[in-house]
Copies of this chain bind each other. A is one copy, B any other.
Amino acid sequence: MADVKSGPNPLFLREEDLRQGIELLFYAYRDFTAEPDAMLARIGLGRAHHRVVYFVGRYPSITVTELLGILQITKQSLSRVLSDLVEQEYIAQRPGTKDRRQRLLTLTDKGVELERSLSDAQRARIAQAYRAAGASAVEGFRTVMLGIIDAEDRAKFPPPGKR
């Protein structure tokens, strides 16, 4: 590997800590997504499908607008993957009862199974990291991650007491 310390870029401690934070996020996300991506490729789907299946599993009967708010992509982008998933019967749509313009999304049995098999690799990775790190480290992890996430979405992560 090229020498970190040499060259016109002497890193100081504080700066180094922040860089390390950036890189922890880069490497963790890279490795975290690699396994499900490989599984998805085998069945002709992509990471975008995984995200949709994941959040529909997480929030059964979620609306399209809510899903768009989470994913932060355009409805045209969502449409593409969502139609795939509906056509292939991973996801079912039904009209809302209160508001009949809505299409409430739920996983089919097939969808539940797909979601489980995809996220299992990720759950295993998290579980192993949590186990190795211990409860107080996990609490620190949670706290820092919440600080990185935009304030609007922090409410999605209720404190331990509320769970």
Contact = CB atoms under 8 A, between A and B. Distances in A.
B125 A58 contact: no
20 contacts: A1-B62, A2-B60, A2-B66, A4-B59, A18-B126, A18-B127, A20-B142, A21-B130, A22-B122, A23-B58, A23-B157, A25-B29, A28-B145, A28-B148, A125-B148, A126-B148, A130-B144, A133-B143, A139-B140, A141-B145
A72 B127 CA distance: 24
B130 A31 contact: no
A13 interface: yes
The bracket for how many chain A residues form the interface is: 35 or more
A65 B63 CA distance: 45
